[in-house]
Structure 1
Amino acid sequence: MKKNYEFKQVEKEMQNFWKENAIYNFDQESQNEIYSIDTPPPTVSGSLHIGHIFSYTQAEMIARFKRMQGYNVFYPFGFDDNGLPTERLVEKEESIIAKNLPRSEFIKRCATVSEKYEKEFKDLWQSLGFSVDWSLQYETINPMVQRISQQSFIKLLKDGKAYMKESPVLWCTECQTSIAQAELETIEKDTTFNYLKFKVGEESLLVATTRPELLYGCACLFVNPEDDKYKKYIGKNATVPLYEYEIPILTDDKVDIDKGTGVVMCATFGDSTDVEWYETYKLPYRKVILSDGTIDESVPLIGGLKVLIARKQIIGLLLENGFILESKNITHTVAGHERCGKEVEILPSKQWYIDILTNKEQFLKAADEINWYPEYMKNRYVLWVENLKWDWCISRQRYFGVPFPIWYCKNCGNVIIADEEMLPINPLETNPNKSCSCGRNEFIPESSVFDTWATSSVTPQINAKWGEENDISNRILPMSLRTQAHEIIRTWAFYTIVKSLYHTNQIPWKDIMVSGFVLAKKGEKISKSKGNSQLAPKLLIESHSADVIRYWAASSKLGTDTFFSIDELGIAKRFITKLWNASKFSISHLQDINLNADVDLKPVDRWIIERCKQTAVNARKLLDQYEIGPARHEIDDFFWKDLCDYYLEIVKERLYQPEIQGYKERQSAQYALYYCMLNILKLYAIYVPHITEYIYQEFFRQKENSISLHKLYWETEEFINDEIILFGEKLKEIIAETRKYKSENALSMKTEIEEVVITTDDKFMELFKRTIGDIKACCRAKKIKIIQDI
C-alpha cells in the first residue's frame, strides 16, 4: 500500500468499480428478504446544500447496513421536478414571468432547467458513493409517474374522496395559486393595531383591527355572549366607518374577551375564523381582495391598489375623518406561503380537494401502526392531524405539473373523467374519447395542475410501479423504511399516509426515520432561501473527500440538529489517516498468513476478537434503531482505543520478531489481526465506503469469496465471552498504569523498567500467565510478577 491515501484517485475508481459490476442493483431473482426504502425525491428548486447531504447520507448508510445484514435492498431515487418550486427556479434563472409566456414555451423551459439540475443532483449523490440502484430512478413529471398520479386521483374521485367545490381557499397572491394548509409558515410582521369607531346609534363601539383595508368586506361584528360590557349591543346594527353601511352585531364564544376591545370585525376574509363564521352564520360575501393581491376596482376609496398601499391609504382616511381613536405599533404572526414568504390571503375559488377532515381518526390510528425513529417525532404528526382545519386542496393554478385528467361539459357542466387507458393525458391537448351523458361533445379542459405533493405522496406506489405491467406492489408494499427530515412530516409523511390508506388500506411503510437539520448558526437551518449555504457540497467533496463528509454526517443522534463548519471535518480527516495507517501496518504483517492453519489463540488475541464481535453486536442494535451516530461512536471506540492504542502495541513484537516470541504466537496474532481488520472494514463500510473498499481490494479480496466488501455480511455471532472481555479491560488498566508511571517520571515509553506487578482474581491468573510475553514487550519490562488477589 502507498504511504499516503489519495482520495481523489480512489473515490472515482471505486465508484466506477461499483457501477461496472452493478454491486448495488436490486436483485429481482433473490429469495432474500426485501428491505425497501422510500427516499425523498429532492425538489428541483436550486442547488443542494450541506443540510441535504446530512439527511440523505444518513439514509444511505442504512441502505448499506441492511445490505450487509443479508437483505435484498430496494433503494431507488427520484427527483421532484414538477410544481411551483421548479417554476419559481425557472422564473428566477431565466428572468421571466410564467404568465407572460405561452404555456407550452414555459413548460419547455421548465423541462430543460429540471434536466440540468437533476444531472447535477445525480452527479453529487454518485460522488458521495450512494449505493442507489439508478435503474429504479424516476422523475415526478415523467409519463409513468404522471399516469400513476392521475390514476390515483381518478380512484379517489370515484371513491368519493376527491371533490370540487367553490369556497374560500388559502391563496398566494405572489404565486397566484391556491395552496394547502401544510404549505403555510408563520411569519412575524410589524404592523399597527388600529382602534376604530363603529357607530351604534349615537354611541361609538371600538373595534381593534390590523386589517382596516378589509373594512368594505366587513359582514358583521362579533362579541362574546358572556361579555357583560357588550350585552346591550347584541342584536343591534353598527355602521361601518367611511363606508356607512349597517352590519349586525352577533355573538360567538370564540371571541376572546381580553383581546383588543373584545369586539371582533368579521370580514371576507381576514383569517380562518372569518371563514368559519361566514359558513356557520351564512354571512354575505363582500369582495375586496383579488387573486393578484390588488383591491377590487369596485371597492370605494382604495380600489385598484395593492394591499399594503390600500392599508396605508385607508388608515389616513380614517384618521382624517376621526374614526381612529389610537394606533399601536405591534409585531404579530401571520400565515405566509413557505415557497415565497408572501402573506397568504383567503379568497373564494373553485378548487379540487381530497377529503381528510372526516378521516382524522384513521390517520391518527395509522401513526400507531408505524414505528417512529426517533419516537418523539410521532407527536409532531399527531399534533398536525389533530389541528387540521381544511381539507387538502390539491389544485394549483400553475403550469409545470401533472394535469387533472378531466374536462367539463360545455353544455351541462358535467365532469368527464379520462379513461384509464388514455393516461397519462393532458386535457388541454386531447379531448375525451366519449360524449357527455347529455349527448354533447363540446368540452372545457381543466387547466389547473396537481399540487406537487399530490404526486410525491404516492412515492411508495411509484416505486412499486402501481398499476403498471411490471407492478411489484405485492413484493415491496408496505415499504420497509421512509427517510425524511422533520419539517416535512406535515406534508410528505402525512400526505403519503393519507394516499396509502385510501388506495391500499394499509400503512405506506413500517418504519419512518426522521433526521434533524444542519444549522448555520444557533436556531437557523441552512437553506437555499436564507442564503446561508455558501459551503457548496461539490467543493467540499472535491477538497476534503466524500468519505470525510460522510463520516461527519454520522456524528449525531437521529433527529437532532447539528452545526456545520469546516473545522468539524478535522476529526474525520484524522480518522481516515488512522484507518489507512492501521490497515497498512496490518496488511504488511499478513502477507504470509495461512488462514487454514490450526491456531492456538493467545488470551490477548481472543480478547480483541471478542471485543470486535461485541462491537458489531452493539452497533447492529443501534443501527436497527437507525441510530447512525451512536453506532459509529461505538465502532470508533473499539478501533481507536482497543485496536490501535492497545492491541497493535501489544502484539507488535510478536509480529516483528517471531524468532524471539515464537512462530505459533505470530500466527495467533496474524489470525486475530486479519479477523479484526476485515471486520473493521465491514463495520466502517457503511460510513466510509470508498477507503474501506479500496483496502479490501488491495488485500482481502484475494482471501475472501466476494467481489466487493459491500457484498459481505457483518459478523452474526451474538454470544460474547464476558470473562475474556473483562480480562482485556484489566490488561488495558495495567498498560495504562505503566504508561502513566513513565510519563510522570519523564521516561520515554521505550525505557525498560525492572518489574510490573499484577494483582488479579484467581480466574484471570492463567490468562495473565499466558500473556507475560506480550506484557513484557508492550511495557518494556524485565520482569512480570503476578499476585493472586485475596
Structure 2
Amino acid sequence: MGPTWDEILVNGMVLGEDGFKMSKSRSNIIAPEEIVGQYGADALRQWGAGGAAIGSDIMFNWNDVVAASRFQTKLWNIFRFVMGHLETVTGEPAPVTELIDRWLLVRLSETVAEVTAAMEGYQFDRALKAIREFAWNTLADDYVEIVKGRLYADDSSRASACSALRTTMDVLCRLLAPIIPHFAEECYHNLAARSVHAETWPDFAYADDEARRHGDLLVKTVAELRRYKHDKGMALNAPLGHVMIYASEPVDDAGDAGRALAADARWSAGTPRLEEVVSGVNFNMAIIGPTLRKQARGFMEAVQALGPELLKNPPATVTIGDEEIPVPSGSFTPKVAYRVAGEEVDVLTLGDVIVTIGHSS
C-alpha cells in the first residue's frame, strides 16, 4: 500500500491577544462567529492567511482583522472606479499600446509569478502580501492616479487603459479567490457575469523591458512632482505650469504625466542648459550675531551690496564705513535661482533625471 498522502501541512498554534495559546482556562478565546459577525468571513480568512508563516504560531489581533477589512474596502473602491469606466466600453477589447498601461501589465505579470510561487509553497502570507502591494501601491496609488485623466478624456488612447484595467481586474479576482472567495466572487460576477471559482488559476505573462524601465521612471517622476506640489502648499489639481523632464532616453507617456500633474509636461533626451543666477543672500545669524554684535546690521548691508560673483566667492573682508571687517566663515550663503531660455525655473534632480518647473504658467 502506498502513502495515504503526498504532502502534509502543519500549522502552528493560535494564540490569544495575551500571547498564550487560546484555552478556556485562560478565558482568551475569540469565537470565529464573533469575528465573522463584525467583519465578515473574508476578513477572518485574510487574518488567517497573512498572520504568520506556515508552521509558526499566530497571535490573534483585532487590529489585523480591521486592517483586512479596510483592504477589502480599498479593493471595492478600486473595483467600482474601474467598472464605472469599463461599462462604457463596447466591442472587442482594444490593444494595450500606451506606456503606463503596458507597465501595469508587466507589474501584474510579476505579481502573478510571485503569488503562484508562494501558493505552491504554501506561503499564504507571502502571497497575500504580494497581492496587497500590487493592488494598493501599484494599481491604486501609482497607475490609477496617473491614468485617471486619460480615462476621463475623450481620447482614442483611453481604450488602451480600459483593456489593461479589464485584464488586471480579471487576473486580480482570480488571485484573490482562494483567500477572500466571497469578495472575489462578487467582483468577478460583475466583471464577467460568471463565477470566479469556475475559472482556472491565472497563467498570465507579459514581458516588456522598455515599458518596465520607462514606466518606473514615469511613476517616480510623477510621485516626486506631486510631493513638490504638496511641499509648496499647492492643491494636487492646481496648475503646475511648464514642466520639462530630461532623461537619458526619450519617453512617450501619451500625455499622462501632464494630465496627472495639471501641467504642460514634456520629456526630452539629454540635459537642460541651466543658467545659474544669484537672487539674494541667506544670513546665518547664529554666527553673525555673536561675532559682529553692533556691526551685524552694517555687515549684512555690505554683503547685500556685493555683486553676484563675490556672493558666490566671498571676499576676506567687507567695508563698513571706513573700517575693513573680516567676513566670518559660514556667515552667509547666496540664494541661487536657475533659468532655462530666460525662464526662471525650479530644479529637481531624481537620480539621472532632471526636472525643471517654470515659474510662469
Distance apart, 1:711 and its partner CA:
1.4
Determine the structure 2 residue equivalent to 1:552.
47
Determine the structure 1 residue equivalent to 2:33.
538
Determine the structure 2 residue equivalent to 1:678.
170
Sort the Cα spacing of 1:528 and 1:723 in 2 relative to 1 into closer, same or farther, 3 A.
farther
- Cα distance in 1, alignment partners of residues 118 and 93 from structure 2: 35
Where do 1:41-80 residues align within 5 Å? Answer: none
**1:751 corresponds to which letter in structure 2?**
A
- Cα distance in 2, alignment partners of residues 538 and 569 from structure 1: 13
3-state DSSP of counterpart to 2:97: coil
Determine the structure 2 residue equivalent to 1:582.
78
Per-residue CA deviations over 1:62-104 (Å, capped at 9, x if unaligned) read xxxxxxxxxxxxxxxxxxxxxxxxxxxxxxxxxxxxxxxxxxx
**2:217 corresponds to which letter in structure 1?**
K
1:564 to 36, 51, 60: 60
The alignment's TM-score, normalised by the length of structure 2, stands at 0.70
- Cα distance in 1, alignment partners of residues 198 and 153 from structure 2: 36
Quick check: 1:757 aligned with 2:252?
Answer: no
**1:779 corresponds to which letter in structure 2?**
L
Distance apart, 1:580 and its partner CA:
0.9
Sort the Cα spacing of 1:744 and 1:514 in 2 relative to 1 into closer, same or farther, 3 A.
same
Quick check: 1:652 aligned with 2:175?
Answer: no
Distance apart, 1:760 and its partner CA:
2.6
What is the percentage of aligned positions where both structures have the same residue? 30
- Cα distance in 2, alignment partners of residues 722 and 512 from structure 1: 40
Distance apart, 1:524 and its partner CA:
1.7
Larger Rg over CA atoms: 1
3-state DSSP of counterpart to 1:513: coil
Conserved 8 A contact 2:247-2:270 = yes
Per-residue CA deviations over 1:231-288 (Å, capped at 9, x if unaligned) read xxxxxxxxxxxxxxxxxxxxxxxxxxxxxxxxxxxxxxxxxxxxxxxxxxxxxxxxxx
3-state DSSP of counterpart to 1:782: strand
Per-residue CA deviations over 1:469-497 (Å, capped at 9, x if unaligned) read xxxxxxxxxxxxxxxxxxxxxxxxxxxxx
Per-residue CA deviations over 1:624-683 (Å, capped at 9, x if unaligned) read 11000011101111100110001111111211121xxx1x21111110111111111111
Sort the Cα spacing of 1:755 and 1:560 in 2 relative to 1 into closer, same or farther, 3 A.
farther
Sort the Cα spacing of 1:715 and 1:761 in 2 relative to 1 into closer, same or farther, 3 A.
farther
- Cα distance in 1, alignment partners of residues 204 and 38 from structure 2: 39
**1:775 corresponds to which letter in structure 2?**
A
**1:750 corresponds to which letter in structure 2?**
N
Per-residue CA deviations over 1:185-242 (Å, capped at 9, x if unaligned) read xxxxxxxxxxxxxxxxxxxxxxxxxxxxxxxxxxxxxxxxxxxxxxxxxxxxxxxxxx
2:211 to 716, 724, 730: 724
1:710 to 177, 180, 197: 197
Conserved 8 A contact 2:16-2:22 = yes
Determine the structure 2 residue equivalent to 1:140.
none
Per-residue CA deviations over 1:270-329 (Å, capped at 9, x if unaligned) read xxxxxxxxxxxxxxxxxxxxxxxxxxxxxxxxxxxxxxxxxxxxxxxxxxxxxxxxxxxx
- Cα distance in 1, alignment partners of residues 212 and 265 from structure 2: 25
Distance apart, 1:716 and its partner CA:
1.4
3-state DSSP of counterpart to 2:28: coil
Determine the structure 1 residue equivalent to 2:221.
734
Conserved 8 A contact 2:78-2:140 = yes
Sort the Cα spacing of 1:566 and 1:597 in 2 relative to 1 into closer, same or farther, 3 A.
closer
3-state DSSP of counterpart to 2:16: strand
Quick check: 1:612 aligned with 2:94?
Answer: no
- List structure 1 runs of 4+ shifted beyond 4 angstroms: none
Conserved 8 A contact 1:755-1:785 = no
Determine the structure 1 residue equivalent to 2:258.
776
Distance apart, 1:772 and its partner CA:
4.5
Determine the structure 2 residue equivalent to 1:638.
134
Structure with higher helix content: 2
RMSD of aligned alpha carbons: 2.0
Distance apart, 1:719 and its partner CA:
5.5
Conserved 8 A contact 1:616-1:714 = no
Where do 1:79-478 residues align within 5 Å? Answer: none
3-state DSSP of counterpart to 1:784: strand
3-state DSSP of counterpart to 1:525: coil
Conserved 8 A contact 2:255-2:265 = no
Sort the Cα spacing of 1:511 and 1:595 in 2 relative to 1 into closer, same or farther, 3 A.
farther
Conserved 8 A contact 1:757-1:784 = yes
Where do 1:475-486 residues align within 5 Å? Answer: none
Sort the Cα spacing of 1:760 and 1:646 in 2 relative to 1 into closer, same or farther, 3 A.
same
Distance apart, 1:617 and its partner CA:
0.9
Distance apart, 1:720 and its partner CA:
3.2
Conserved 8 A contact 1:595-1:671 = no
3-state DSSP of counterpart to 1:512: coil
3-state DSSP of counterpart to 1:511: coil
Conserved 8 A contact 1:605-1:668 = yes
3-state DSSP of counterpart to 1:749: coil
- Cα distance in 1, alignment partners of residues 3 and 231 from structure 2: 63
Where do 1:520-539 residues align within 5 Å? Answer: 520-521=16-17, 524-533=20-29, 535-539=30-34
Deviates more, 1:580-589 or 1:521-530: 521-530
Sort the Cα spacing of 1:559 and 1:522 in 2 relative to 1 into closer, same or farther, 3 A.
farther
3-state DSSP of counterpart to 2:168: helix
Sort the Cα spacing of 1:655 and 1:718 in 2 relative to 1 into closer, same or farther, 3 A.
closer
Conserved 8 A contact 1:554-1:629 = yes
3-state DSSP of counterpart to 2:78: helix
**1:743 corresponds to which letter in structure 2?**
H
Q: How many residues align?
A: 271
Distance apart, 1:521 and its partner CA:
4.7
The alignment's TM-score, normalised by the length of structure 1, stands at 0.33
- Cα distance in 1, alignment partners of residues 158 and 215 from structure 2: 19
Conserved 8 A contact 1:757-1:787 = no
Per-residue CA deviations over 1:730-780 (Å, capped at 9, x if unaligned) read 222111111111121121111111233323333xx2xx22x1511101122
3-state DSSP of counterpart to 1:593: coil
